[in-house]
Amino acid sequence: MKLVRYGRIGKEKPGLIDEEGRLRDLSGVIGDLAGANLSDKVLKKVAKIPYDTLPLVRGNPRFGVPVGKVGKFIGIGLNYADHAAESNLPVPTEPIVFMKAVTSLSGADDPVMLPKGSKKTDWEVELGVVIGTRARYVSEADAEKYVAGYCVVNDISEREYQLERGGQWDKGKGCDTFGPVGPWLVTRDEVWNVDDLDLYLELNGKRMQTGNTATMIFKVPQIVSYLSQFMTLEPGDIIATGTPPGVGMARKRFLKKGDFLRLGIAGLGEQQQDVIGFQEF
């Protein structure tokens, strides 16, 4: 299934995309795509509902983050060897883990806002993993059973904040709007081979990133198992699994007001974002 949350910011409703690409409302079936509703049991129940019995949603509503009540937004750094090389950094022997603030989350097509004083805001298309069942000290062999599904993530990063301001990477990762997720959560049963998904990102119509999850250093089961040794993963937690080469830091080209991003992953949908200047909410 392709599951979504649609509507105004803070007022999103659950929905799904039917076989003909139409949006249907799920709010009469589940309260939200969050917590226990991301379990295999609930998702299997939803999958059995005839789509034509669900109300059609008219118009073109905004798609929000396809998961509600996200507790943790976790990033994995330098998870593609060629990206590590372009960053002039060694290939990691264990996953590099950082946290993105949950306040950075935004919808797939919401604008990306440059923070105050930004000099080096960058793009990173990534495979997102959504946890569906609590995971604590799980094995690699069992890890995928704890995954609800997959999505597109743009791990927006301010490189000066991340690398030149001292301390951890988190400062450059957690600014408002730095975590576009979606448009959909695709349940894991519909992703036949998560190790062979094409990724791409374009800036103002020019291709910047082209990659495939086959070249990830640490695969999804390794990442989920590894993280579960250090923290309990809860339903709704999102893991961004790293980016292929072609980021702005390597190209000496960073985002500026008026830029337009288009990015996606095969089978998981596409994002489109206008880059805007800082605005008070």
pLDDT class of 57 with cuts at 50, 70, 90: very high
Percentage of the chain exceeding pLDDT 70: 100
Q: Classify residue 183 by its DSSP letter.
A: S
The closest of 265, 270, 277, 279 to 108, measured between CA atoms, is 270
What is 57-99 written as a DSSP string?
PPS-PPB--SSSS---EEEEES-BHHHHHHTT-PPPSS-EEEE
- The answer to whether the CB of 25 falls within 8 A of the CB of 12 is no
pLDDT tens digits for range 220-245: 999 999 999 999 999 999 999 999 99
Q: How many helices (H) and strands (E) does the chain have?
A: 5, 18
Query: Which residues have a Cβ under 8 Å from the Cβ of 77 and sit 6 or more positions away?
Result: 92, 95, 96, 97, 98, 169, 242
pLDDT tens digits for range 89-147: 788 899 999 999 999 999 999 999 999 999 999 999 999 999 999 999 999 999 999 99
Q: What angle do CA 60, 1, 16 make, to 5 degrees?
A: 30
pLDDT tens digits for range 132-190: 999 999 999 999 999 999 999 999 999 999 999 988 889 999 999 999 999 999 999 99
Q: What angle do CA 67, 158, 217 make, to 5 degrees?
A: 65
3-state secondary structure of 278: coil
Question: What's the fold here for domain 67-276?
Answer: Fumarylacetoacetate hydrolase; domain 2 (3.90.850)
Looking at residue 281, its pLDDT comes to 61
Looking at residue 87, its pLDDT comes to 80
Query: What is the four-CA torsion angle of 83, 240, 103, 41, rounded to 10 degrees?
Result: 170
Looking at residue 89, its pLDDT comes to 77
How large is the average pLDDT for residues 63-88?
A: 92
Would you say residue 209 has pLDDT above 70?
yes
